[in-house]
Structure 1
Amino acid sequence: MTETTLLTDHQAIRDWAGTRSGVPAIRDPAALIGITEPVLMIKFGLEAYADKDDSGADRPDELGRPRLVEWDEWFDLFDKNQLALVVSTEIEGQPDEFHEFVRK
């Protein structure tokens, strides 16, 4: 079983994400899929910036799309919802992207 670490410190979270080329993102509420609150995300690597050309009639706006945000906006939501970030404990030379959000 993988060991985990609980992160709540903003700089520690930024450092963890930055080591893995992670950037903050928020998926806005989307009634069509039943999301009523914004959802925090961390997007990694080039996936965060890829143009998926997912607009058009076959992808309604009501599905909600992740949008890249500044860390300040991300941490406002993180703190408001009293969250912590669970991550895999570091193994030297093997940065793992596993993470999940939990309530403090």
Structure 2
Amino acid sequence: MEAFMTETVMLTDHQAIRDWAEARIGSPAIIDAQASIGATQPVLRLLFDQHAYQDQDQGADRPSAPRLVDWDEWFQMFEEHELALVVAQDVDGRRENFHEIIRR
């Protein structure tokens, strides 16, 4: 098996982030601080494919489940906490969901 290193790109532009997520059927979500063990502030997430809908359906049973939000709410928090989205660089024939939300 051949190992390869995926290059990453840091995104801060709102439209670029939204385009990246939507190309992978991603939705913005937030986990409330009081619901997340050890969290002192809400946590931003991107949910992909059917996972976004599964988490919403089970939210009442799982208080720490991500809550889908609109992009405006997500980006407001993104800017307040000076965050960036690190993603795998697109490669021809492959579209990866790898991402990490970090401080700028």
Q: Shorter-chain TM-score: what band?
A: 0.7 to 0.9
Unpaired runs of at least 5, structure 1: none
Structure 1 residue 54, shift from structure 2 partner = 5.9
**Contact 2:10–2:86, Cα closer than 8 Å, also in 1:** yes
**Does residue 3 of the first structure (1) align with residue 4 of the second (2)?**
no
Task: After superposition, give the CA deviation of every residue in 1:15-51 in whole Å (9 maximum; x if it has no partner).
Answer: 0000000000000012671111000000000110123
Residues 29, 46 of structure 2: 8 Å contact kept: yes
SS at match of 1:6: strand
Residue 41 of structure 1 aligns to a residue in which SS?
strand
Q: Structure 1 residues 34, 95: closer, same or farther in 2, change over 3 A?
A: same
Match of 1:13 in 2: 17
Structure 2 segments unaligned to the other structure (5+ residues): none
Structure 1 residues 31, 53: CA separation in 2 closer, same or farther (over 3 Å shift)? closer
Between stretches 84-93 and 67-76, larger displacement belongs to: 84-93
* Further displaced range: 91-100 or 45-54: 45-54
CA RMSD of aligned residues (A): 1.6
| Alignment match, 1:43 | 47
Residue 53 (structure 1) shift = 6.8
Count of residues in Structure 1 that have an aligned counterpart in Structure 2: 98
1:3/1:20 Cα in 2 relative to 1: closer, same or farther (>3 Å)? Answer: same
What's the offset of the Cα at 1:65? 2.1
Over the matched positions of the two proteins, sequence identity in percent amounts to 54
Corresponding residue number in structure 2 for 1:93: 93
